[in-house]
A and B are shown apart, each in its own frame.
Chain A
Amino acid sequence: FSAEDEINLLVIVVDVNPIWWGQQAQREPELTLSKCLDAVMVLGNSHMAMTRTNKLAVIASHCQDSHFLYPNKNWRGGDNGGEDASSSGDGKYELLSVANNLIAEEIRNVMTKKVEGRQTFLLSSLIMLSNWHGVSYRYLLMLPFLFSVGQEIKSRILVVKAAEDCARQYMNFMNVIFAAQKQNILIDACVLDSDSGLLQQACDITGGLYLKIPQKIALAQYLLWVFLPDSEQRSQLVLPPPAHVDYRAACFCHRNLIEIGYVCSVCLSIFCNFSPICTTCETAFKIQLPQMVKPKKKKLKQST
């Protein structure tokens, strides 16, 4: 089948946590949320401009929910989006200007909406991590039905992340990662501030790229250089090598990352120290402690 039949879908998930971005605007005014969105738009436009059959979706991930910025309910779809699109007047490919306008409009709506509920958010409450994943994943699942039969869709997800991880959504997140792996959907991550172990795992497992960028103002360049090529093209390019992922488990008692621990054979919970009763399933265990070493030690040579 020719490359024209293949549809490459890029889903960009942008972390628009207002608390982080608000503080960021005061910390480093060079990269504001507006600039970030501009960069994302540039990437989206480039992706759509590469091939006619490339598709784009942009999702904004807010504190408690996510929103599709593009395509959204205002999008008529197809080629007649040009009617209500205010043409930018610079001869741009219409699809791109339509997309940009839709994204801009929607993000304005999202960010200016009154935030309901408690105003006291913790910075680390990026609860959306699972929500947007769920949303985007469901979108990806629906896609084969939106297009005609016989068209292959290759999709990948790019996460532009600003704030920190939330550990409470760990299980959902891991499930989504494994589902994506099964469906051959790559998850890439472009991290602005602090490293995220979850995203590192996601990228490692699905075969995507994880990058923490050193200069935020050059975000657009990084996006275009590293994340624009799709997986086939990446094999021909020299890109940053994959980082070492810390797969260590965390003990259930302190949440420390441990290399050697004790695992309850009944409920499989992990502990860093031996305790005679498993606190999760209340099973009692006996363990043979090593014999007391006599004072005059025998030095046994370990052979190589």
Chain B
Amino acid sequence: MASLSEEVLLVVKKVRQRKQDGTLYLMAERIAWGPEGKDRFTVSHLYADIRCQKISPDGKAKIQLQLILHTGESTTFHFSNESSALKDRDAAKELLQQLLPKFKKKANKELEEKNRMLQEDPVLFQLYKDLVVSQVISADEFWANRLGDMNNSDPTPYNNKQDVGISGAFLADIRPQTDGCNGLRYNLTADIIESIFRTYPAVKQKYGENVPHNLTEKEFWTRFFQSHYFHRDRINTGTQDIFSECAKQDEKGLKSMVVQGVKNPLVDLLSLEDKTLDEGYGVSTTTPSTSNANRTVKESSNAAIIKRFNHHSAMVLAAGSRKGQAAQMGTRGILTSSSLLLNPFFSLAIEYEDLQRENRLKTVALNLKKSDRYAHGPVPLQSQHYTTSQDIINSVNHIRHEMVNYKPNLTQVLSSTAASSAITALSPGGVLMMTGTQQAINQMIPTEVQGELKHLYAAAGELLRHFWSCFPVNSPFLEEKVMKMKTNLERFQMTKLCPFQEKIQRQYLSTNLTGHLEEMLQTAYSKFHVWQTRRMLRKT
């Protein structure tokens, strides 16, 4: 039966399930059905287990709602109240529609996360295959360390969503189409709506005020597009438009922006303006630019367009930097003046060396005491042989004597035996050619064997990491884990390492590829053994 603390959201009577009359209860976390007259629920499903719901088509006589679970099972409820079956069913359906998504996310999230991790990281995937699929360790142990605190934390960090910027042309992209009879169709997508709201907060405010109380959404947007606020040549005629206030607000905003000045010197068009009376955007100072006095209509409409463009651009820029301003300034492509001036390219363009003050940095001179050390080569200073001066004199005299009558004797330079032995030494296999035959190990082993070896190393490394992280063993959980890991290691050795060794032996590869792996496993075993004996001793 339902626990008393469960909140019941909806009760529907006269719902049949499996040809039995009963009542359907929708609770906070599950949906349940109990037969008529009985207290207990025979059918109860958590929303998290439900994959989706289906309803029978509208024309059918039987009004049914089917729940399909993740496991594939389905449960069908037949609404049999003559008067209100359809309403009941629809009510149930709506409620489920709202509830299911909330729970769905939590259940699948883990699986999704796991799948994503496996797909993104092929090494992890291989490790998973090696260890879990071949049942060396269980899936839970595998995921124990990796999922971390995913279940506890807020889902938003995992969304990895980036903030979307605002396209400067979002209004132009709307591209109205004629709908055949003197009207225009504007296609508004959610993105465009969002852009409009972000750029013009005044419009958002209006939307909040008027929808859905006064206007439907459709009407609101129709009015928006019709209003002079939106159109190019808007001259604030003060019509009774819900958007006239927005226009006024925009004016205020623009003025304040203008007063603030432009912080960014390089987007600044100030320097091109000769007659700057104001800070740059207009010529007149005192009267607001919407005043029609002293101006022709054309001039004022031009000014209005230019003003609108400027305002639009400024708002787009401002909207982009409005969010997360502190963190993202300077990285979102909106160049702040400070970041620009640090940029070497720009500082080259705007700075002249000889116009700046001379500020030489204080440098410290390099003070080398024994600079001859650098000149000395890697040969040790001690010389190997010493000869007596008498020896030297003898040698020099001997040579002199020899060379006094030197005459080249080019026909007797080489004897054939000497020549042939030299040739043997230089031929492949000879004394001098030996180093070339040593091939790198990775050229002698076929690539599949290399790949398998890599996988073995990855799997062994993972297991060993779990094993060694248990030490020092100071809790019963760690004790259990260490013993489990040892059995896992042994199982790994038996199921993976030994067949691999046999395989390479069969291929007559004489190199010892698995020696190191075995050494690592052996170290682990001996450590376990030591720990176990110590434990025994402590107990006795």
Contacts and interface: CB of A to CB of B under 8 A. Distances in A.
A167 B410 CA distance: 36
Interface size range on A against B: 35 or more
A300 B406 CA distance: 73
B400 A168 contact: no
A55 interface: no
B484 interface: no
B368 A22 contact: no
A206 interface: no
A19 B373 contact: no
Contacts of A257: 378
Nearest to A247: B378
B403 A33 contact: yes
A226 B471 CA distance: 61
B394 interface: yes
Contacts, number: 215
A19 B379 contact: no
Interface string B375-410: 111111101111101011111111110111011111
Interface string A171-207: 1011000000000000000000000011000000000
B201 interface: no
A39 to B, nearest CB: 6
Interface string A218-247: 101110011000000000001111011000
A165 B377 contact: yes
A111 B422 contact: no
Nearest to B398: A22
B515 to A, nearest CB: 13
A26 B415 contact: no
B535 to A, nearest CB: 15
Which of B383, B422, B428 has the most chain A CB within a 10 Å cutoff?
B422
A167 B374 CA distance: 11
A100 B524 CA distance: 74
Contact of A33 (B371, B399, B415, B433): B399
A25 interface: yes
A238 B428 contact: yes
A131 B437 CA distance: 38
B414 interface: yes
B421 A304 contact: no
Given A167-B377, A168-B375, A241-B433, A119 B389 contact: yes
B403 A108 contact: yes
Given A269-B374, A304-B457, 17 more contacts: A23-B387, A25-B402, A41-B408, A42-B414, A167-B376, A167-B377, A168-B375, A198-B377, A213-B422, A218-B421, A250-B379, A250-B380, A254-B380, A299-B468, A301-B469, A304-B458, A304-B460
11 contacts: A23-B395, A26-B398, A122-B386, A170-B379, A215-B422, A215-B425, A256-B380, A298-B471, A299-B527, A303-B461, A303-B464
